[in-house]
Structure 1
Amino acid sequence: VWTASRMMMGGGTDGGRSRVPALQIRSSSGQVVQEVADNSGKGKLFFKNFFPSKPETSSVPQDFRYPPPLWEFTNINDEQIGRAIQKMKPYKATMTGTIPNSVFVNAKDALIPHLGPLFRATHNLAYYPDAWSLTETLVLKKPGKPDYRAPDAWRPIVL
């Protein structure tokens, strides 16, 4: 009820309206070098900020000796799937076009016998669907930042 009331009192919004202010790129002395106002430019700036490029040389020594594994991989079983579904928050946001968590939570007993073979097949066949590697990333304000025109005042959340 509180959430619904808050949404009703918030006034109408334009779903296409930009909610991220124009971002400012500053020099080391603090002077504004560039201001990015369009969504495409903001996206590129966030991408550069959230996903820095790889270093030219690896920090791992070439002759590094890894310790023996602490555990041996075993394929997922139905009990593990059941525990994972049990931990799901039914109304938490999921990726666009996917099944809501509430379906898994409420139909767990009917779904597990079908999900288990599918998940085990991905390992047995060494097949990882391309769609599973895609993510939706939301950009949220870091709380308490004094100026949200700085790209580092924002953080990514992956659904």
Structure 2
Amino acid sequence: MTSVAKTMTEASSTIELPNKAYLLPKYIAMWPPVWWTWLLVAALLVVLLAICFFSYRRYQQRGYRRDALTSIKSMPDNLNNKQYILLCHEMVRRCLISERQQLLASLPSTVLFENLDRHLPKKHRFGSLGAVFIEGPYRPQIELTSEQRTRMIQVTCYWIRKHHA
């Protein structure tokens, strides 16, 4: 019994191949699988760098939006109603000029806000603020409620964030 167990363990540890003429390599590299793999990696790297570059450039070019939003949100509460309206008009016109839309920015307020309202949803149109907002800078005396002031700032901030002049 011991000799049978001995031969079983020897047989299980070594496997005899029928033909010894086949020589297999010890290691086949898995990377790179083909010669053009490095070209593909280089192309992906160039695309990634281009995306980063254009994203950063866009971030810099859109800095005027951040400045306009900051100045509108940090408006002092002691401004009178006419100054509120003038500041909102000024920010809209500054954004248009920064987007190289000088002709649009030079239009009178009634025509300007009609043009801008074409691209906005009905909820956020300047026309929804009424004639007080559009014709306010030309009136000698303006009375606004706190709701009207808040709504004016909300619509102006929405336009600054979303416009594509």
TM over 0.5, shorter chain? no
TM-score class, shorter: under 0.3
Q: Select the structure that is richer in helix.
A: 2
Q: Select the structure that is richer in strand.
A: 1
TM-score scaled by structure 2? 0.24
